[in-house]
Structure 1
Amino acid sequence: MATLQLGVVGEELIPQSTGYGVLIGLGIAFCAVILVALKIQKAYLAEDAGTSEMFMVANRTVGTGLTASAVFSSWMWINETVFAAAMCYRYGIAVPLWWATGLCFQIALMAALGVLAKIRVPYAHTSLEITKMRYGRVGHVVYIVLNITNNVFGCASMILTGSQLIFGISGMHFAAATVLIPLGVVLYTAVGGLKATFLTDYLHTAIALILIMYFTLSTLTHDAVGGLGGLYDKVAANAANNIVAGNYEGSVLTFKSKEAIIWALILKFGNLALVVMDTAFWQKSFATEVNATVPGYNLAALAIFGVPWGLGTVFGMTARALHNTPYWPTYPEPLTLAQVNAGLVMPYTVKALIGNQGIVAFLVLLFMALTSTISSSMIAVSSILSFDVYKTYINPKASDQKLVKVSHITVVFHGCFITGVALALNYGGANMTWIGYFRPILSCPGIIPLALTLLWSGQTRLAAILSPILGFFTGLGIWLGTSYSLYGQINMTTTGMGVPALYGSIASFFSPALYSVLISLYKPYKFDWRIFLRIELTEEAQLAKSSIPQPSSDTTSTASKETPADGERVIFPIAHDPVRGTSVQEKNPKIFFTESATVPLDEVQHPFDEPTLRKLYWWHRVAWAWFVVIVLVTFIAWPMPLYRDYIFTKSFFSGWVTVAIFWQFFAFAAVVVYPLYDGRHDIAKGAMGVWHAMRSYAGRRKEQ
């Protein structure tokens, strides 16, 4: 037995040594793989992570397939795997579908915002650059705090949950697990940058989806389950022991579940914040090719749907069928609510049906889900600290090499920091359920003001700064006030109830929109979108200037003759960029750069040519149309007709789960197989380079 800090009592399903072996071994393996991949990229594909453009936004050359895989991997948190099963067990069959609908629309929204950012701010590195250009230093700092808080809290909560799960099934101390989970990620992310996370995200995705399909099919085909029909029969026969308050007739086989829909709504708000307020998703959109943002993100939005729906349904229902039988690891002890909230439903089911090898595979799946989240978080926070803090406020004249060095340091710093936050949450008694209820209140206030930064020219600086702050305190007050009003006290238990969290989330999300409009109307102002194009001009000028060799002492007199007077415009030499084609100056020789890079708006031209801009505007329309379709289908047309007095029949249940499993295979094709096809030319080029290098080496050895 292993007693968790939260009072959860977990069964030690595997030895501690196995847990240590999996965490350390996989961390070393991924470091080795990414180091080899980076060497191949640099040698044969002309991609060098030693530049800030490559480190932060992967040279903006990532194609559709790899984009879909990376977005899918970054969004495949433990929630979509382990906790979808736990909440399905707790509230019934409605949860996994609600969970799936709460994952895809945010990615579709991010596709629309991402392509709009390409149009209006074509060469931004982080979303915070946009806020600085529009709202100045105070607004910049406010959104830095909002972004880092959202990122750190979300990432630390994943580490917290993973450490509790590993402790609960292996007995490894959760402090050791908390340290080991991010360790390997820090190493390969610090070396490889964003492109490294794209590559490892692909590996994470491939391995995780194979394991998900293996778990799903192995569970259904086990003799104790007996296929889809057998699973339905066992759950139906065990109905008296599976009563869920708030469900139609207390059944776990009905879609009409009050608690499930409350959970789903809170999840939708929280997940929306985790995407829009996470710089990692903006960075991935900045890193994509012009034609890859919308199809890549929307392919991931469709693919992610199958993970919580299929896995959560199969494992949640199987646990309901077996939790009071001798197959269950804790039998004859019942499964407690604390164990469910800690996410132990899925590993217990795996242990019951697949055995120790299944638990080892589960740990691998857990590692994949955790590290994919952590790696994207590290790059995001690293970019904020290096680009938005260090370069903006500490060393504005930092060279490209200096910026990359600082990025490496901040990756390590962030790894240490989130480890400390995760430990603090652990010792403070938090669990994933409570965090899931609190996170929307903390993260939602910035969503609408940040989106309006790109969508509405009328949002003023004061509105953008005050509305998220007021929104947070509004949501916090309603959350705590409702908890006290309904339950008479404020503590971890009452604030972890669904209704207060839902009311607080709604207030946190919607109130900033009201505050923004009212404050903006106080002193109206219309923003000129052309100002955003100065981001590129500023960065090109600064990087060009920092790259100019300083004159030696014997050339001082010559240099002094060429030094312009204060206020005089001067052209800095700007290198040809293979991604952008030609530099801004080459396309528009009339543009000059001053010390402050203050270019008159009438002289600013968009870096994209007309055909590219027309294509982007077309993608923008497609993205918004697709977003509307996804919302209408997944919020209304699909789930709402099922929310009635109806218990799934055997045939309907079989069809329901069959489609969910089919979706897993579609996801595998979309984000594992298709990226290989999409990147076939680069793969072939890299493979040929390695082959020729090996032959050359073998030839030299033979001559010696």
Structure 2
Amino acid sequence: MSVQLGVSGVPVIPQGTAYGLLIGLGVAFCGVILIAIKVQRAYLSEDSSTSEMFMVANRSVGRGLTASAVFSSWMWINETVFSAAFCYKFGLAVPFWWATGLCFQIALMAALGVLAKIRVPYAHTSLEIIRMRYGKIGHVVFIILNITNNVFGCASMILTGSQLIYGVSGMHFVAATILIPLGVVLYTAVGGLKATFLTDYLHTAIALILIIYFTLTTLTHEAVGGLGGLYDKIMATASENMIPRNYEGSLLTMKSVDAIIWGLILKFGNLALVVMDTAFWQKSFATEVKATVPGYNIAAVAIFGIPWGLGTVIGLTARAIHNTPIFPTYPGEFSPSLVNAGLVMPYTIKALIGDKGIIAFFVLLFMALTSTVSSSMIAVSSIISFDLYKTYINPKATDKRLMKVSHLAVVFHTIFITGISLALNYGGADMTWIGYFRPILSCPGIIPLGLTLGWSKQTRLAAIASPILGFLTGLSVWLATAKSMYGTISIATTEASFPALYGAIASFFSPALYSVVISLYKPESFDWRRFLLIELAEAPKADESESSTTPSDDEKENKAETGPSESKGNGIVISESPSENTSVLASDAEKADAVRVRERQTVSLSASGDNNSLDLDNVQHPFTEETLQELRHWYRIAWAFFVVIVLVTFVAWPMPLYRNYIFTKSFFSSWTTVAIIWQFFAFFAVVVYPLYDGRHAIVKAFRGVWRAIGRKFNKA
């Protein structure tokens, strides 16, 4: 089941075209986003030069854009290119299991995200929550877990992308590795999280159009002959396409041992990539109160159709035509090394669509890569600026200083991740081994992180020790299983399916046991009100002279049109007495001035970690009771949706099909038709709906631009 890199196949696109596309797309996206940032700043009062806007988009992102951004961040190369490659290897069960391994993590993040809004309304990163509850040591442990998870995930995508570009064009992988993140760093460093939301939307729109185009064009090609024709060709070539450990060796069965094992490993690895990635937490912090659960769950349902539909059609079509004259490798063999390098999809597109199809494939590849890299940049820059610089180097850093550090962190992360990708490449990295090791490394932090928000009895020692013990347990099980099953420990034996699966299971579940046992040994109880001491990023600059500047007429007009938002505040309110009911809104400068002194006391306490001296009875939640009731309502919905999606995608749907059964022609046609319809649903959910959801802001920005153009022409 290895994914092999550095494989030189049959070039299907000229090097010059590949260079032009990679550079041109990067420059084009950078230009579009820079224009969008200027429009936002001028007409929507969204200034990315503040850290709240840069890191969490002023907590004002709506449902549609949230769904689009989460969808885009989770649509990696794996869901497109490698779902087709693994369908070619193991049959149609793989794309389905791949789809089920993508959606439940996003549903889980919806529940955790809305719980974070209730418990920690002004958090910027998940690590900030860890520091507040467990102190410096716990903070450092989870910083290491988060950064390693992020580095492994991002570097593996850049590495895979650069090698895939090398395989289809012959472009040197070093050039591809450098060019992939180059354009992304420009708009991310300038625009921050909101810029990534906008680029995520563009990525999503373009990618889904191309995915639907590839799926339908492939099926309707005369060499395939529609769903019926594809089924007939697969059955006619069944004797030469036998798959070991599939029922009767068939490609058209859900009873595939390799597919289900791969699906289970993928679930653990993807769970770590979501929960232990601060990017997904930041997107939840950035959403409006009413947007977190709907936005994340729309993305969770929409993402299902991508690997299922595209992987099934492209993977099976490649099986049907790989021994025909139209296939690029004919009359040579389409070797396992070429399949493992991910060349199933580009070769199939070249055979059926030609040069224009390959150019479109290259664009799709660029969309998937840059979306991942952009999200990773913001996440790591937030860790460096907020969790390292502000916490341990300069606790009194102004908002302006934080922004400078964030920009430098984006550039540093780009250089660092490029270097890591090149090192892995020259070191002969095996992507399957990295993919199997990552769950063992990252999964131990998932349950302790969830309990940080959900269980007041988890102690500091438990939170620090359980991830470390969990990692050691998973590592031991992984290596011991490889030794017992294959007699030796090596790259080959540790990347086998069963050792990796058992190691991932031990790494994920054992920290729950460790945490409970250690917590009960010396019990403590955490007061959730301490989380309210986390302040807004720009609270320290409240006493700067520019904060008292009178708003301009344009700003007043924008505020009048947008109105106040309950999700925006200027700090935590500490009342003089427990009965005093005071609230502070971002637009209410007078009340903000009245409590500013007390805010600075709160900031000082939260930064030092000495919260015991504060009377928590005098700390009030910044949200109104009505808003909190609404959040609790969404929290219940989120958990109900999570349970339903797990039961449906893990049990009710796939399990009855795991039997001695080969799809009939009618069942296969219905199965694939539903998968294709799901792609159209995804398009409407994360491309069309965000336009409707953001229609007021779009109209407002358009009017502003139109008036500005009119004034220019009048002056001329």
Q: Within 5 Å, which residues of 2 pair with 1:4-153?
A: 6=5, 8-153=7-152
Whole-angstrom distance in 2 between the partners of 1:121 and 1:582: 25
Whole-angstrom distance in 1 between the partners of 2:37 and 2:249: 55
CA shift, 1:481, in A, is 2.1
Alignment-derived partner of residue 345 in structure 2: 346
The answer to whether 1:593 aligns with 2:591 is no
- Structure 2 CA distance for partners of 1:272 and 1:186, relative to 1, 3 Å: same
SS for the counterpart of 2:122 is coil
Per-residue Cα deviation, 1:169-217 (whole angstroms, up to 9, x for no partner): 0000111101100111111100000000000000000000000000000
- Structure 2 CA distance for partners of 1:527 and 1:209, relative to 1, 3 Å: same
CA shift, 1:541, in A, is 5.2
SS for the counterpart of 1:493 is helix
Counterpart contact for 2:289–2:631, Cα < 8 Å = yes
CA shift, 1:337, in A, is 2.1
CA shift, 1:547, in A, is 6.4
Amino acid at match of 1:212: I
Alignment-derived partner of residue 399 in structure 2: 400
Per-residue Cα deviation, 1:402-430 (whole angstroms, up to 9, x for no partner): 10111000000000111111111112222
Alignment-derived partner of residue 233 in structure 1: 232
Alignment-derived partner of residue 484 in structure 2: 485
Alignment-derived partner of residue 540 in structure 2: 542
Counterpart contact for 2:481–2:499, Cα < 8 Å = yes
- Structure 2 CA distance for partners of 1:477 and 1:592, relative to 1, 3 Å: closer
Counterpart contact for 2:399–2:540, Cα < 8 Å = no
Whole-angstrom distance in 2 between the partners of 1:287 and 1:548: 25
- Structure 2 CA distance for partners of 1:404 and 1:575, relative to 1, 3 Å: farther
Whole-angstrom distance in 1 between the partners of 2:485 and 2:498: 9
Whole-angstrom distance in 2 between the partners of 1:66 and 1:581: 29
CA shift, 1:434, in A, is 2.8
Gap runs ≥5 in structure 1: 550-568
Alignment-derived partner of residue 714 in structure 2: 699
How many residues are treated as equivalent by the alignment? 675
CA shift, 1:600, in A, is 1.9
Alignment-derived partner of residue 178 in structure 1: 177
Whole-angstrom distance in 2 between the partners of 1:63 and 1:581: 25
| TM-score normalised to structure 2 length | 0.91
Alignment-derived partner of residue 458 in structure 2: 459
- Structure 2 CA distance for partners of 1:515 and 1:322, relative to 1, 3 Å: same
CA shift, 1:487, in A, is 2.1
Per-residue Cα deviation, 1:355-398 (whole angstroms, up to 9, x for no partner): 11111110100000010011011000000000000000011110
Alignment-derived partner of residue 617 in structure 1: 632
SS for the counterpart of 1:513 is helix
Alignment-derived partner of residue 515 in structure 2: 516
CA shift, 1:579, in A, is 7.2
Whole-angstrom distance in 2 between the partners of 1:688 and 1:66: 21
Alignment-derived partner of residue 204 in structure 2: 205
Counterpart contact for 1:59–1:579, Cα < 8 Å = no
Whole-angstrom distance in 2 between the partners of 1:469 and 1:582: 48
Alignment-derived partner of residue 670 in structure 2: 655
- Structure 2 CA distance for partners of 1:650 and 1:383, relative to 1, 3 Å: same
SS for the counterpart of 1:162 is helix
SS for the counterpart of 1:593 is helix
Whole-angstrom distance in 1 between the partners of 2:485 and 2:4: 27
Whole-angstrom distance in 1 between the partners of 2:32 and 2:452: 40
Per-residue Cα deviation, 1:247-288 (whole angstroms, up to 9, x for no partner): 000101000000100000000000000000000000000000
Alignment-derived partner of residue 358 in structure 1: 357
Alignment-derived partner of residue 565 in structure 1: none
Per-residue Cα deviation, 1:129-180 (whole angstroms, up to 9, x for no partner): 1000000000001111111111111000000100010000000011110110
Amino acid at match of 2:57: A
Amino acid at match of 1:290: V
Amino acid at match of 2:542: A
Counterpart contact for 2:50–2:538, Cα < 8 Å = no
| TM-score normalised to structure 1 length | 0.93
- Structure 2 CA distance for partners of 1:193 and 1:575, relative to 1, 3 Å: farther
Alignment-derived partner of residue 432 in structure 2: 433
Instruction: Select between 347-356 and 593-602 the one with higher mean Cα deviation.
Output: 593-602
Per-residue Cα deviation, 1:296-343 (whole angstroms, up to 9, x for no partner): 000000100010000000011101111122222111222222222221
SS for the counterpart of 1:8 is coil
- Structure 2 CA distance for partners of 1:431 and 1:208, relative to 1, 3 Å: farther
Counterpart contact for 1:591–1:603, Cα < 8 Å = no
Instruction: Select between 334-343 and 290-299 the one with higher mean Cα deviation.
Output: 334-343
CA shift, 1:589, in A, is 10
Amino acid at match of 1:621: R
Counterpart contact for 1:341–1:431, Cα < 8 Å = no
Counterpart contact for 1:54–1:193, Cα < 8 Å = yes
Whole-angstrom distance in 1 between the partners of 2:395 and 2:600: 20
SS for the counterpart of 1:371 is helix
Instruction: Select between 595-604 and 659-668 the one with higher mean Cα deviation.
Output: 595-604
CA shift, 1:490, in A, is 2.6
Gap runs ≥5 in structure 2: 548-575, 577-581
- Structure 2 CA distance for partners of 1:580 and 1:32, relative to 1, 3 Å: farther
CA shift, 1:10, in A, is 1.1
Alignment-derived partner of residue 321 in structure 1: 320
Alignment-derived partner of residue 367 in structure 2: 368
Alignment-derived partner of residue 689 in structure 1: 704
Counterpart contact for 2:4–2:340, Cα < 8 Å = no
Amino acid at match of 1:175: V
Alignment-derived partner of residue 306 in structure 2: 307
Alignment-derived partner of residue 635 in structure 1: 650
CA shift, 1:636, in A, is 0.4
SS for the counterpart of 2:621 is coil
SS for the counterpart of 2:324 is coil
Alignment-derived partner of residue 555 in structure 2: none
Whole-angstrom distance in 2 between the partners of 1:460 and 1:473: 20
- Structure 2 CA distance for partners of 1:326 and 1:391, relative to 1, 3 Å: same
Alignment-derived partner of residue 562 in structure 2: none
Alignment-derived partner of residue 561 in structure 1: none
Alignment-derived partner of residue 621 in structure 2: 606
Whole-angstrom distance in 2 between the partners of 1:305 and 1:687: 34
- Structure 2 CA distance for partners of 1:583 and 1:171, relative to 1, 3 Å: farther
Whole-angstrom distance in 1 between the partners of 2:230 and 2:389: 57
Whole-angstrom distance in 2 between the partners of 1:370 and 1:626: 30
Whole-angstrom distance in 2 between the partners of 1:530 and 1:500: 43
Alignment-derived partner of residue 673 in structure 1: 688
Amino acid at match of 1:119: I
Backbone CA RMSD of aligned residues: 2.1
- Structure 2 CA distance for partners of 1:421 and 1:355, relative to 1, 3 Å: same
Instruction: Select between 515-524 and 147-156 the one with higher mean Cα deviation.
Output: 515-524
SS for the counterpart of 2:274 is helix
- Structure 2 CA distance for partners of 1:163 and 1:530, relative to 1, 3 Å: same
Alignment-derived partner of residue 266 in structure 2: 267
Amino acid at match of 1:251: S
Instruction: Select between 6-15 and 511-520 the one with higher mean Cα deviation.
Output: 6-15
Counterpart contact for 2:390–2:396, Cα < 8 Å = yes
Q: Within 5 Å, which residues of 2 pair with 1:234-313?
A: 234-313=233-312
SS for the counterpart of 1:380 is helix
Alignment-derived partner of residue 660 in structure 2: 645
Amino acid at match of 2:313: V
Counterpart contact for 2:4–2:430, Cα < 8 Å = no
